[in-house]
Amino acid sequence: IMETQSLVAQYQTSFAASPYNAANRVFNIKKAARAINGLVLEAGEEFDCNAVLGDRNAENGWKEAAGIRNGRYETEYGGGVCQVSSTLFNAVMMADLTITERHPHSWPMGYVEIGRDATISTGGKNFKFINSSGSRIYLFAHVDEENKVLTVTIYGKPLPDGMYIEIESEHTGSIESAGEILMLDESLPFQTRVVEREARDGKTAVTYKVYRAKDGSLLRREVAYEDTYRAIDGLVYVSTDLYYP
């Protein structure tokens, strides 16, 4: 492969920090990386992340780990696979391939900069791209467990004239949440609050593809994505005395 193909793009993310280093989550990252590692895409072929990984469930050998559902972290099969799809997303942008489906999370993730994540869910949101390079590409995904780093690499036809792409993103604004919504739970003892979901302010972000010549000089800077991470209202169950003060 190496004789005929060039390194087109490479991107790394870390899972060293808590909660990203939970054992089941790392298991799922490794399983997803294995599914992608060594894939060959012919010119014009589309990559479909949910199809490649298969349904995340117990039958398919996925483990339960934290994932985002209904505006909060919940334990689900395949929790952590979005770090793999997000790492791949960055490499695909750097390889200048045509992305056909990509969605941001409910809120920014700690393992990539804001605007640079790509969430997926079984039977739901997906990450897809077309090999628009004009020639065959090879995808590699490697997990370094010692250094807790995931690396996605794309080999194929290099970008013209030694050109390369950098990805930049910035937080552009905030959206205030409405705060906490109180729900009555008459079964709770007095003076009790049960937080079902934390309130989160929303954020807006813009992500750029920065095209550079071989010598590093700027060729052009394009807006790739403008994302909105919605505000999430808190949901708190309270006892009767707190609901009717």
pLDDT per position as a tens digit, 136-169? 999 999 999 999 999 999 999 999 999 999 999 9
The helix (run of H) or strand (run of E) holding residue 243 is helix 240-243
- Which pLDDT tens digit goes with each residue over 98-144? 999 999 998 899 999 999 999 999 999 999 999 999 999 999 999 99
* Nearest-angstrom CA–CA distance, 19 and 178: 27
d(CA 150, CA 140): 11
pLDDT of residue 95: 98
Structure confidence at residue 66 (pLDDT): 77
- What rounded mean pLDDT belongs to the chain? 94
Residue-level pLDDT at 72 = 66
Q: What is the pLDDT of residues 173-220, one digit of tens each?
A: 999 988 899 999 999 999 999 998 889 899 999 999 999 999 999 999
Q: Taking the complete model, does pTM exceed 0.85, yes or no?
A: yes
pLDDT bin (cut points 50, 70, 90) of residue 5 is: confident
Position of tokens 């990539």? 112
Return the pLDDT at 245.
79
Element (H, E) at 94: helix 81-94
Per-residue pLDDT of 68-92, as tens digits, reads 776 667 788 989 999 999 999 999 9
The strands making up 6-14's β-sheet, listed across from edge to edge, are 6-14, 149-156, 137-144, 39-41
Helix, strand or coil, per DSSP, at residue 90: helix
- d(CA 50, CA 122) in angstroms, rounded, equals 7
Answer whether residue 2 shows pLDDT above 60: no
